[in-house]
Each structure stands twice: as C-alpha cells, then as structure tokens.
Amino acid sequence: MKEYFLSFVILIFSLFLSYLVSFYSISFLEYKLVYELWLLIFLIHILMFLPSYFYQTEHYYDLTGGITYISCIIYLALGRYFHFNYLDDVPLIVSLFVSMWTLRLSSFLFLRVKKTGKDIRFNEIKKDFKKFLLAFLLSGLWVFMCLLPTIVILTSSSNIELNFITIIGIVFWIVGFIFEVVADKQKTEFNKNHKGKFISTGLWSISQHPNYFGEFTLWLGITIISLPYLEGLNYVILISPIFIYYLLTNISGVNLLQELGNKRWGSLEAYKKYKKETPIFFPKIFKFWS
C-alpha cells in the first residue's frame, strides 16, 4: 500500500505545483498550457509502464523519459507559437537545448541498456506491479521537475529579449552539457579497455560523478534563463535545481553507484585513495588545471 500512497502523492504534489504556476500560463486549446503538460507527462509514463510490466522489461524506462521530454517541448512550442503567432528567441533557445540534451542522453541510455541486457536497478522492482508503477511515476515527476523552468518560460505571457541573465544561463547549460557528454564518452571508452576497473582519469579525476554534475549544471542553466520570467508564485520553480540535486545524489544516482563501487572495489587501496582525494559531486577544478 505504501507504493500506491507514494504514487498518489507524486500526482497530487506535481498537480499542486502546476496550479501554483498556472496563474501566469497562456492557454492552448482553451485550457491552461501548464495543466496540459502535466497530463501529457504522466499519461505517457503510465502508457509506457503497462507494456513494460507485461513484458517484464526495463529497456524502455529511460526511453520513456526521452519520449516525454521531446513530446513536451513540441507541445509547448506549438502552444506558444499558436498563441503569439511566432516563437520568440529565448523560448526557441531553451527548446533546442532541452531537445539536444534529450536526444543525446536518452539514446545513450537506451543503447547502453540494450547492450548490457539489463539495468540492475530493476532486477526486483519490475516483478512488483506497484513498485514498478511507482518507478515510472517517479520518472514522470523527474521530467516534470526538470521541465518546470522550461514550462514557465514557454507558457509565459511575457516576451523577454536576450539579456545578461540569459547569457549566464546559456553558459551554465553549455558547460554542463559538455561535462556530461565528455564524462559519458570517457567512461564508455575506459570500460572497453579496462572492464571491471574503476575510472579515475579525465573528468573523473576531479569528480567521482562528473556526468551527474554536468546534468545538474545544465538544468541550473535553464533555471537561470527563466529568472526574468518569474513573478509571484512562479518563484516556486526555484525548487527545481534543488530537487534535481537531491535526486541525483540521494535517490537514483550517486548513492546507488557509491554503494556499487564500495562492493566492487572497496577493499582496494587505490580506490580508497581515489575516494579520499576526489570530490563526490562538485569538481575539484584546481586539480584539473594543475
């Protein structure tokens, strides 16, 4: 019953956030665009959950998030375009940024799980209807929370020109995107030649999880870009990067990999030294340049 309760909480909490930002949302097809996005996000996840549970596969879990991100961006862009009869610069840039990140990461994760044959996170979860459903709804909440600043930008009735804050946000996004892409590539190449060993070179020498740092930073960039659009209750979207950081470090990311790393290499002196000298999340920049 606990899983069903948590699933209900996820839906109510995200719907409440939609309500808080809906006061400044433009309408599309006679309804507030933010509510339509909420429905679209969780509808896609529930529809993808059903065949995944039936066939007992986690192969489409990460792909579901990718499909949802792209669907939401298309829907938001269309809604804004038909409301104003054009798509202004900042919403267009944000739409392109989110689309680039989605296509790159979702394809990377999908191909990785297809190659390895499984995602160890779901070995037991996929056997339990309520737990697997909760996992898909958590993914929907993840998408919703990541997209909150994007939703505010693309549903805003304001047309804001490129400014200094926008440029800062763009720089953050580019840095984060590069970090994530390079870190993933470095680890993929390392695993080809050093199977069963831990990586401590490249970006992985300045952070134990540089890919997750990159993901946090690029979403923080989107949040910075959204700042000129915020007014009244819309400031609630500032919880987005906090939520992302917490999930990456405590729910479905760093914490799981730290446990796995300790099981595999915890007895190795080299690994103990690596953990002691290398920050878990935020990079040690001076070490990189030394």
Q: Please name the residue that has the structure tokens 């930002």.
A: 21
pLDDT tier at 223, thresholds 50, 70, 90: very high
pLDDT at 290: 44
Average pLDDT over residues 68-83: 94
Rounded-to-integer distance, Cα 99 and Cα 156, Å = 19
pLDDT at 145: 95
The chain-wide mean pLDDT, for the chain, equals 89
* Residue 206 main-chain phi, psi, to 5 deg: -115, -10
Chain center to CA of 137: 14
Name the nearest CA neighbour of 181 among 204, 207, 206, 214. Answer: 214
Angle at CA 159, nearest 5°, toward 153 and 160?
80
pLDDT tier at 255, thresholds 50, 70, 90: confident
Is the four-CA dihedral 44, 46, 50, 52 of positive or negative sign? Answer: positive
Burial status of residue 142 (CB atoms within 10 A of its CB: 0-12, 13-18, 19 or more): buried
Average pLDDT over residues 243-253: 89
Residue 104 has pLDDT above 90, yes or no: no
Residue 120 has pLDDT above 80, yes or no: no
pLDDT at 170: 97
Output the pTM of the full model.
0.90
pLDDT tier at 115, thresholds 50, 70, 90: low
Secondary structure in 3-state letters for the chain = CHHHHHHHHHHHHHHHHHHHHHHHECEECCEEHHHHHHHHHHHHHHHHHHHHHHCCCCCCHHHHHHHHHHHHHHHHHHHHHHHHCCCCHHHHHHHHHHHHHHHHHHHHHHHHHHHHCCCHHHCCHHHCHHHHHHHHHHHHHHHHHHHHHHHHHHHECCCCCCCHHHHHHHHHHHHHHHHHHHHHHHHHHHHHHCCCCCCCCHHHHCCCCHHHHHHHHHHHHHHHHHHHHCCHHHHHHHHHHHHHHHHHHHHCCHHHHHHHHHHHHCCCHHHHHHHHHCCCCCCCHHHHHC
Q: Cβ distance 64 to 119 under 8 Å?
A: no
Residue 119 has pLDDT above 70, yes or no: no
